[in-house]
Chain A
């Protein structure tokens, strides 16, 4: 536990410096410096101010979690999202552990849909060309019993692939936004460590 302003600010700086951009760290530190300045002017000792601020560690964890959740909200990427989840887990929010499994299952599902859609989009045109060649009478490509059915099938499968990819995109977006809101809610309502 820190008992002077210097110790407190140093502890915060050390913990934040590793994770956040320097301008943001400086902005956060200036708030706490101002707090100490005003508190001293108010006649409170540095030790007392440190005590009522609470552990620098807890403050830093909360700042880091907030930063990463905001970042993931602004710039969508799987990497930002996983950083946000990890930083929020760092607050000791054990309820998040229970949603971790559904999140991973969902991510795998979205990836599988993406791959299947992609495969259809690649396979469709190939099947289409093969069917055309067969229709043109090239015996070597006699893949289909009925080349016309082959053409219909390949057009169908290409369209299905496109639909899957587009649908998957919207689905991923939807769950991403939902996830960010859930993380924000966690940070807002629940605090890692109890006072005292």
Chain B
């Protein structure tokens, strides 16, 4: 898939994972890169940006072993943004889907 396309959607992926539960960085990176082919290193700059924009906050939490992990949590603003982006994305995919279906040359 086109890299610019993927990157625009990355923000929605991160936000929507955090709607379900707070996650630590590796968890977000791992889950996303399992499904979307993107260099894992670019997700951390995105996480910093989303935090900087006030869409999420971070806290440290002890784990069973080793040093504490940094967890990411959505702020109210982040939840709102997630809903907006989700609606946009769903509308967009439905529209594109309809156009593709309408193509008489499509091979199924």
Which one of A54-62, A146-154, A163-171 is at the B interface?
A54-62
The answer to whether residues A37 and B66 also contact, given A54-B42, A189-B7 and a CB cut-off of 8 A, is yes
Main secondary structure of the interface of B (DSSP, over half): helix
A66–B49 contact, CB under 8 A?
Answer: yes
Q: Does B40 contact A (CB under 8 A)?
A: yes
- Interface size, B (range): 20 to 34
Q: Which of B24, B33, B49 contacts A52 (CB 8 A)?
A: B33
Contact partners of B3 in chain A: CB under 8 A: 191, 194-195
Q: Does B52 contact A (CB under 8 A)?
A: yes
Main secondary structure of the interface of A (DSSP, over half): helix
| B55: min CB distance to chain A, Å | 12
Contact partners of B49 in chain A: CB under 8 A: 66, 187-188
Cα-based distance from A119 to B28 in the complex (angstroms): 58
Contact partners of B40 in chain A: CB under 8 A: 35, 52-54
Q: Does B74 contact A (CB under 8 A)?
A: no
* Per-residue B-contact encoding for A30-73, CB less than 8 Å = 1, 0 else: 11101101110110000000001111101100110010001000
Q: Which of A28, A30, A37, A191 gathers the greatest number of chain B CB atoms within 10 Å?
A: A191
B39–A53 contact, CB under 8 A?
Answer: yes
Q: Does A190 contact B (CB under 8 A)?
A: yes
The answer to whether residues A34 and B25 also contact, given A66-B48, A189-B8, A191-B7 and a CB cut-off of 8 A, is yes
Cα-based distance from A34 to B66 in the complex (angstroms): 10
Cα-based distance from A37 to B69 in the complex (angstroms): 10
Contact partners of B48 in chain A: CB under 8 A: 28, 63, 66
Residue of A nearest to B8 (CB): A189
Cα-based distance from A55 to B39 in the complex (angstroms): 9
Q: Does B30 contact A (CB under 8 A)?
A: yes
Contact partners of A39 in chain B: CB under 8 A: 26
Contact partners of A31 in chain B: CB under 8 A: 25, 44, 47, 70
Contact partners of A190 in chain B: CB under 8 A: 4, 7
Contact partners of A56 in chain B: CB under 8 A: 41
Q: Which of A1-38 contact B (CB under 8 A)?
A: 28, 30-32, 34-35, 37-38
Q: Does B45 contact A (CB under 8 A)?
A: yes
4 A-B pairs closest in CB distance: A54-B39, A38-B26, A53-B41, A54-B41
A-B contact sample (8 more), CB < 8 A, given A55-B41, A66-B48, A189-B4: A32-B44, A34-B24, A37-B66, A42-B26, A56-B41, A59-B45, A188-B11, A189-B7
Residue positions of A touching B, CB distance < 8 A: 28, 30-32, 34-35, 37-39, 41-42, 52-56, 58-59, 62-63, 66, 70, 187-191, 194-195
